A and B are shown apart, each in its own frame.
Chain A
Amino acid sequence: MQFVLNNNLVDLENIAPDMTLLRYLRSEQHLNGAKEGCASGDCGACTVLVGHKSPNGVAYTAVNSCICALGSLQNQYVITVEGLQDADSTGSLHPVQEAMVTCHGSQCGFCTPGFVMSLAALHGNAEDLQNASDEELRPKILDAISGNLCRCTGYRPIIDAGIQALKIPAQTVNIVQEWRPNAPLASKPALTQADDFYWQPATETQLQSLLRGYPDARLIAGGTDLMLEVTQLYKSLPQLIDLNAIQSLKNLDVSDTHVTIGAAVIYSDVETALARLSPEFVKLLGRLGSRQIRNRGTLGGNICNASPIADCPPYLLALDAELIIGNSAGEYRREFLTDFYLDYKRTTLARGEYLAQIVIERSALAQPLKLFKITKRYEDDISAVMGAFRCDANKRLSIAFGGMAATPKRARLTEAFLHQHADQLDDELIEQACGILASEFSPLSDVRASSAYRMAMACSLLKKACYALLLNAELSQGVFDHA
């Protein structure tokens, strides 16, 4: 495989398919600027820029290199902190680096290259922010560094550095450059090592054929969860099939009646595409994971992981979303998400099957919706409880919870009770509905929350939703202005 690293072509063969970008950078390229802080995509010390060709040149985004599969970078462009400086032929500091120095944005310095790269990604895509006020810039910066942990500074000087740097025109900074080799990037076979491989099929037909040949191969899209098996459990993933080059899985189509989202569409693209169609969901995505994770993680991954605490499934359950599932024989089946989850981490996906698309009806999407996510930390934390509530045209609530059972789950009995009493709904009936909710769920106690708190939260969120969606009384905005 080939990719461009800091403006140099890298051509690789005979490398383990589960090699991470960070390990490759540090041990093979001796580029030590990116650090390993956690090897799980939680701290951002390893952040680099990954770019792909777009109509406007190479578009770069910030990525956690620690859990980024090297094989996924075929024909992509990688810039590390070392390249940030080199890219500018004068050797002077990038505006973000300059601002980090003048604002005293580093103390121990270990997290600093990661912050620099996250802010550089924002800077490179922020031509329109030059004249923005500090107040407008702040949320953009917080979003950009949502996946970067700093234990020393308390962040204030880093936020200031971001504000300072974003005021320097982006066009004077030429990190966003296209590598122009004499020959175009060749599409060589992906990484292989003995019988092990990292394939990147370009079509579903190729994918299906690979699934026939290697039914035990693991599918990888963002790898934000799968790669933890390598970096945390030290497992080998000898056979990986990457879904990122299959255009049909990357499409996000909006028709008059449906929104169809390819399983390998990354969250960041969902945010852009659904900004107007489902603002509540886009706000939630801001809390699903850091910007780096959202630049890699996919909706399909969130669904197929079948984690009871995933954030998207409750939303999609409440919307009655449907799945289109393909198999190695080239056949497709449709299934409602409500039927997809069988038990803890178990789905109906059979050997040789893969999730192709998620289909949501526009009419459902247009209906009033409330999403609530309860966590210890506001950003980049896994739900203790996630509640999704949709109100249809008949004032019927669709209710789904994450974190309340072995799978993400609809609250059917509670829905029915509320519907039955829709006309005379009051505090007392809502209390009764909470009682029914308690009969439908028996959540666990774990590191994130106690069972009792989870149950109490499910009721509190139900109350909030009932007030907002059925009684049109804004019970409480809460303390956050979204999700």
Chain B
Amino acid sequence: MRKINLEPHAREAFKEGGVGHSVAHESAIKHVCGTAEYVDDLPAPANMVFVAVGQSTQAHARITRVDLSRVKTAAGVVDVIVQADIPGKVDVGPVYGGDPLLAGDIVEFIGQAIFAVAATSFEAAQRAVALAEIDYEPLPALLTIQDSLDANIFVLPQHQLLMGEPDAAIAHAQHKLSGEIYVRGQEHFYLEGQISQANVNEDGGVHIICSTQHPTEVQKLVAEVLGVQLHLVVAEVRRMGGGFGGKETQAAPLACMAAIFAKRLKRPVRYRMARRDDMIQTGKRHDFLNRWQAGFDNDGRLEGVTMVLAGKCGYSPDLSDGIVDRAMFHADNAYFLNNTRILGLRCKTHTVSNTAFRGFGGPKGMMAVETLMDDIARHLGKDPLDVRKVNLYQPGRDETPYGQKVEQHQLAEIIERLEKNSDYRARRNSITEFNRTNKFVKKGIALTPVKFGISFTAKHLNQAGALLHIYTDGSMQISHGGTEMGQGLYTKIRQIVASAFGVSSDRVIVTSTRTDKVPNTSPTAASSGTDLNGMAAKDACDKIKADLIAFAMEHYQLTADQIRFAEDQVYLGDESISFETFIKFAYLNRVALSATGFYRTPKISYNRETAKGQPFLYFANGAAASEVIIDTLTGEYRVTRVDILHDVGKSLNPAIDIGQIEGAFIQGMGWLTTEELLWDNKGRVISNSPANYKIPTAFDVPEIFNVELFDQANNENTIHLSKAVGEPPLMLAISVWAALRDACASTTHYRSSPRLDTPATPERIYWALEDCKKFNESVDNRAEEITA
């Protein structure tokens, strides 16, 4: 065996930053210094042009005249295009199509792009588009879910889940209830608005730099609108200033528009949406109208449930098929429905096409069954928590309406621990006492669970690639198909690679995500970013490691178990060598130091014909207990305390995971409380700016906000046995809504739960309290009649 030179100094420099550590976000220092670059921060060459689009002012109309002469001659205008100027395919809709990049004869929502302008400045482009003269012949417009249901017009066919015999089960149940809730959508309000930049290259191709969660789709759609092959288009994204689902499909039209102008003008093009345009022109979380009937026994245990979930899809399919599916897959949340029929409807409305938003339909489905849990509790005079507990999935009662069995039963333990840690029962008692003695201020509390299925329901998306390079100084570049939108994916990937080689994480750099590094990627969505790309990155590491180990075995005459990578060293039998020296040596011995990695999620399948299968690899679980206080004279309220216990498997980075949980919770709280999407009766979005659409501020964060990780390994073989965390905790915020409803119910002495559509603004709370008054009056009147 050859002599190995020990390098003790290198070991001292080792900085633990691998899997399981709360290392800072890889861009944290750049963030705080303002040096992290977003698309709009890139240098703007002097000849760059800026895009704005002319928008429909009608919800549904035939365009009878378009006069753009004043637009074309406006100051700074370089080029103007209409649909006929699109060289390739006009439709930029994902999956099913239906979204023309520029409208033709018909417009289908207020804000739809009709023409586009490229001008020498952002302002010049904006001023120019206002000069168009467009005449319309109005057509009948469907503006609400009810309009769509009445007209029986949908963007896609319905889908139904069926388990057992729900109608018979309900008919024979001891108790029956029916109800309805309208759950409003949500504006993403990513702080960085939609933006794309396009540069042409010498081959007639384009390089797109885009704030997108789905660079491959951007690449594909840009190629299609240009009528060129995919290999001529590179889409790149380093980071987004927030995504939340809003940049899964909605980023592509900007990229396509920029690409068309770039090709026409041979100039760099930037298309950034002003905040108002972004709020008008891009899709949001769907509104849902949920109706149900349920039968249950004296304990509140469900015998049967039927539900209709109707999503407001807007004018085109976009991702609504998957979104309504996921609403249906989560209409059970954590509960065994026993016998059930869940019907999902994709309602067409002449409004902007709604899209992915953290939870992807799941939150809206859950709202149905969580409303039902409260209603059952009030009906039976029970604590809602007891009704929730009795209905939890458990061994023997573990089949979901889509046929998948729940295998890892964690929620009973999570709820029990949270109930204890949050002191739920004692607080429930003191709140009931408080409410008895306080006339105008009432408190409420609720503890609700979340079970969220992890995997794309579109099976083919459950794959990922990675590309790892190790350079001769031992530094590494890892590329993968996922995108960084703040969730910490790059940080976790870096930790995974550092751990694989036992090196300091600063040896590893995660490059921007580019379609020429890793092709055919899936969107960074469905909470899957780390599950998929982390595994692909690890696969690339394992391949190179295997070659390195084979080399070392041969070279040093060792067995595989004598070779170990740790602490920036390579341990070779009884001796060690610095990682850097070892890599240099491997290079000189012609070992491959670059590899691709690949991963496909095992086990999953779903048969749409039978509506049965295993769409999810596993479930992520959690629970939250929230306490609120309301002013019955005004409906104003405050969230005073929140306790969360959430399952992320074995955490890859506890600080990042807690950040995801807290952020998702507050975002979910905004969705259910102050964020109110509103349209007027012409179909115009009237919540069109942060002045009238209110996401939570720091003040809204409960002063007592305890978040704990439920530290238990995933049963499934995921990356280091972790679990996805992006979306599931958003639905923990349902506890806030349920607590508000609990406080309202207290005014009926918990005899009734008023209807409380979301968002539960102070106004909605006020009207719910008025309903409680009416309930009390009717009960009192009845009591009087009886005693009379």
Interface positions of A (Cβ within 8 A of B): 26-27, 30, 32-40, 42-43, 45, 80-82, 85, 93, 96-97, 100-102, 104-113, 116, 138, 141-142, 145-146, 148-159, 232, 234, 372, 374-382, 384, 446-450, 453, 456-457, 460-461, 463-464, 475-480
Contacts and interface: CB of A to CB of B under 8 A. Distances in A.
Given A108-B239, A108-B241, A447-B686, A479 B638 contact: yes
Nearest 7 Cβ contacts at the A-B interface:
A33-B34, A108-B486, A110-B241, A109-B31, A154-B666, A107-B486, A42-B690
A19 B267 CA distance: 26
Contact of A37 (B43, B191, B674): B191
B665 interface: yes
25 contacts: A42-B690, A42-B691, A43-B191, A100-B28, A104-B22, A106-B486, A107-B25, A108-B191, A109-B30, A109-B239, A113-B34, A142-B699, A145-B697, A146-B697, A149-B189, A150-B698, A151-B244, A153-B659, A153-B663, A154-B667, A155-B698, A234-B127, A376-B763, A377-B700, A476-B631
A464 B633 CA distance: 8
B35 A108 contact: no
Contacts of A461: 634
B694 A38 contact: no
Interface string B27-47: 111111111111011011000
A450 B763 contact: yes
Contact of A101 (B32, B678, B766): B32
Contacts of B274: 39, 232
A190 B189 CA distance: 37
A138 B703 contact: yes
Nearest to A100: B32
A102 B676 contact: no
A253 to B, nearest CB: 33
Contacts of A108: 190-192, 239-243, 485-486
B416 interface: no
A116 B274 CA distance: 24
Contacts of A45: 191
Interface string B145-180: 000000000000000000000000000000000000
Contact of A449 (B189, B275, B763): B763
A234 B488 contact: no
Interface in B630-688: 630-631, 633-634, 636-638, 655-656, 658-659, 662-667, 674, 676, 678, 686-687
Nearest to A108: B486
A32 B32 contact: no
B633 A97 contact: no
A159 B700 CA distance: 12
B634 A457 contact: yes
Given A104-B24, A460-B634, A378 B700 contact: yes
B440 interface: yes
B690 A149 contact: yes
Interface string B746-773: 0000000000000001110011000000
B440 A107 contact: no
Nearest to A34: B34
A111 B34 CA distance: 10
Contacts of B94: none
A110 B34 contact: no
A152 B691 contact: no
Contacts of B439: 476
B705 interface: yes
Give the dominant DSSP class at B's interface: loop
B701 A478 contact: no
A384 B691 contact: no
Interface string B226-246: 000000000000011111100
B130 interface: yes
A93 B24 contact: no
A456 B766 contact: yes
Contacts of B694: 375-377, 381
Given A109-B239, A142-B698, A43 B667 contact: no
Contact of A447 (B630, B692, B700, B703): B692
A71 to B, nearest CB: 17
Given A35-B241, A154-B662, A110 B191 contact: yes
B192 A377 contact: no
Interface residues on B, range: 35 or more
A376 B676 contact: yes
B487 interface: yes
B239 A448 contact: no
Nearest to A232: B276
Nearest to B192: A110
B629 interface: yes
Contacts of B655: 104
B123 interface: yes
A446 B678 CA distance: 9
Nearest to B442: A479
Contacts of A460: 633-634
B632 to A, nearest CB: 8
Contacts of A381: 694
B190 to A, nearest CB: 6
Contacts of B701: 154-156, 159
Nearest to A235: B127
A463 B633 contact: yes
Contacts of A155: 666, 696-698, 701
B697 A380 contact: yes
Interface centre among B37, B486, B766 (most CB of A within 10 A): B486
A113 B37 CA distance: 12
Interface centre among B629, B631, B687 (most CB of A within 10 A): B631
A152 B489 CA distance: 14
Given A42-B690, A155-B698, A156-B662, A111 B634 contact: no
A100 B126 CA distance: 36
B631 A149 contact: no
B31 A112 contact: yes
Contacts of A142: 698-699
Contact of B275 (A27, A37, A376, A477): A37
Interface string B260-273: 00000000000000
A234 B123 contact: yes
Interface string B387-431: 000000000000000000000000000000000000000000000
B191 A111 contact: yes
Given A81-B34, A376-B761, A382 B692 contact: yes
Interface in B452-469: none
Nearest to A111: B191
B257 interface: no
B241 A106 contact: no
A142 B656 CA distance: 23
A39 B275 contact: yes
Contacts of A97: 29, 32-33
B275 A109 contact: no
Contacts of A374: 634, 636, 762
Nearest to A115: B32
Nearest to B693: A447
B695 A479 contact: no
Contact of A376 (B43, B239, B674): B674
Contact of A40 (B37, B663, B691): B691
Given A146-B698, A151-B242, A35 B691 contact: no
A349 B364 CA distance: 51
A479 B191 contact: no
Nearest to B243: A108
B689 interface: yes
B242 to A, nearest CB: 5
A35 B763 CA distance: 34
A97 B30 CA distance: 10
Interface centre among A42, A146, A375 (most CB of B within 10 A): A42
Contact of A382 (B27, B37, B486, B691): B691
Given A106-B25, A107-B488, A479 B692 contact: no
A154 B275 contact: no
Given A97-B32, A101-B28, A110-B38, A453 B766 contact: yes
